[in-house]
Amino acid sequence: MDNQSSFPGNVLESVTSKRFKSLAQALSFITFFTLLNFSLFAQATEEKVQMAEGLRSNGKIYVVVAVLLTVLAGLIFYVIRLDKRISRMEQQSKA
Partner 1 sequence: MKYNWWKVLSIICLVYAVVAGMLLPVPARPIVNESIRNLYYHVPMWFSMMVLMTVSVIYSILYLRTSKLVQDINARFFASTGMLLGLLGIITGAIWANYTWGAPWSNDIKQILAAVALLIYAAYFVLRGSIEDIDKKARVSAVYNIFAYTMLFPTLFIIPRLYESLHPGGEGNPAISQRDIAPIMRIVFWPAVLGWTLLGVWITTLHVRVQKLNDKHILNG
Site for partner 1 in 60-79 (CB under 8 A): 61, 64-65, 68-69, 72, 76, 79
Q: How far apart are the first and last CA of the chain?
A: 89
CA–CA distance, 15 with 9 (Å, rounded to integer): 10
Between CA 95 and CA 84, with CA 79 as vertex, the angle to 5 degrees is: 20
Binder of partner 1 out of 29, 52, 60, 74 (CB under 8 A):
52
Binder of partner 1 out of 44, 51, 59, 95 (CB under 8 A):
51
CA–CA distance, 93 with 95 (Å, rounded to integer): 5
- Chain residues in the site for partner 1 (CB under 8 A): 48-52, 55, 61, 64-65, 68-69, 72, 76, 79-80, 82-84, 86-87, 89-90, 93
